[in-house]
Amino acid sequence: MVHFDPRNKGQAGVGFYTPAQEPAAGSAADAASAPTLYRPLKLRSLELHNRLVVSPMCQYSADNGHLTDYHLVHLGQFALHGAGLVVVEATATEPRGRISPQDSGLWRDSQIEPLRRIVDYLHSQNTKAAIQLAHAGRKASTLAPWIGGSVQKALADEAHGGWPGDVVGPSPVPYAEDHATPKELTLDEIQGLVKSFAESALRAVKAGFDMIEIHGAHGYLITEFLSPLSNKRNDNYGGSFENRVRFLLEIIQAVRAVIPESMPLWLRISATEWMEHAGQPSWDLESSIKLAKLLPGLGIDVLDVSSGGNSAGQKMLREKTYQTNLAREIRRALRADNIDLIIGAVGSIDAPEFARDVVQQGGQQSADLVLVARQFLREPDFVLNAAEKLGVPVKWPSQYHMAEPKDVHQAFKV
């Protein structure tokens, strides 16, 4: 129950008036009795009011790396409807690091202000904001996926804003026949890219983000360094496991060094590239567990576990838990060594019961957080609807009080 307050006070800390959401939409009326999915989670000095995270989703809608009013509406709706954390899509640390010419970027100061506007709105709804910093590597300079009918990720040429002659990677090995052959990065260029991640992280701090995620998954540049299938280097960045993870570890160290101690730092990886069938060394679950054990010592707070995306010949399992099982195996291996790294799970999380079970403490718990993408596109109010289906009274946006379920009205009103 909340105490009666006649004021319609505004949300503090934002540059415009909007009624304060106290508590935030999506907060459980009684967290102690709620399923883990609707319990708060502390990350350094921050607290998420539930475990439902809006996963970064490329929208191919930016203007030379600058986000627009489209992104404000797209991302703002998830905060309005109760998500615990909203993560801005993969944001390139340099122009040639974009997947498409219309990708988000943070390589110049002019890109800060559009992001700050989005962060301010997310904060106005008492929701935390994060951004995913990325470099597309050899999968860069492609068209938006809906262009060209059935053609997926067709190469964008110079006439359409692309840079097929300036795509880079650890080695000159193309992702597929319809992608550019990357130029092998020099040692100086590698160090320049490490610096670009740190510089973009500083801009993210200036934009007001609460958290940063490093994108090391889905076959983009960091994944390409990790995998022996795409990394054929014979210097300190190729060959052994220790050499192949060096680029990632240097990025983590560079980013952690320039962001506040209080700011959580996340990492997304592909736990396997699903190429075990190829009969040659690849990045697999065992490699991911080995990497995961290094992360807490480097200042990583959350490991976001996805999979695939580095080889056109991948053979994924086609079962609902194909990705959440990977998260569970990594989490179990860490716990067995008394390593308490928070784990996020993704993949086919499209039903309230499944989301609940993935993070429910005890039993077969796979993760501590769920990151949801497609279901939020289908159902922007997934947090509120899932709570109703699970029988969990959660706060609705104050302005939507006339539509809230009866149990919510009783739980949050005098």
Residue in 38, 60, 121, 220 annotated catalytic: 220
According to the model, what pLDDT value does residue 148 have? 60
Whether 60 sits among the annotated catalytic residues: the reply is no
Residues in contact with 120: Cβ distance below 8 Å, sequence separation at least 6, in sequence order: 14, 15, 16, 208
Q: Burial level of 285, CB count in 10 A (0-12/13-18/19+)?
A: middle
According to the model, what pLDDT value does residue 414 have? 46
The whole model's pTM is what? 0.97
The CA-atom distances, in angstroms, between 362 and each of 35, 359, 365 are 11, 9, 6
pLDDT digits (tens, 9 = 90+) for 365-387: 999 999 999 999 999 999 999 99
Reading the block at residue 375, the tokens are 């279901």
| Phi–psi pair at 270, nearest 5 degrees | -90, 115
d(CA 188, CA 129): 33
Neighbours of 28 (CB within 10 A): 22
d(CA 382, CA 61): 24
pLDDT digits (tens, 9 = 90+) for 281-299: 999 999 999 999 999 999 9
The CA-atom distances, in angstroms, between 9 and each of 23, 50, 400 are 13, 24, 16
| Phi–psi pair at 212, nearest 5 degrees | -130, 140
d(CA 295, CA 283): 17
- HEC readout, 271-340: CCCCCHHHCCCCCCHHHHHHHHCCCHHHCCCEEEEECCCCCCCCCCCCCCCCCHHHHHHHHHHHHHCCCC
Q: If you search the block for the tokens 């904001």, which residue do you land on?
A: 129
Those residues of the chain that have pLDDT short of 50 are: 414
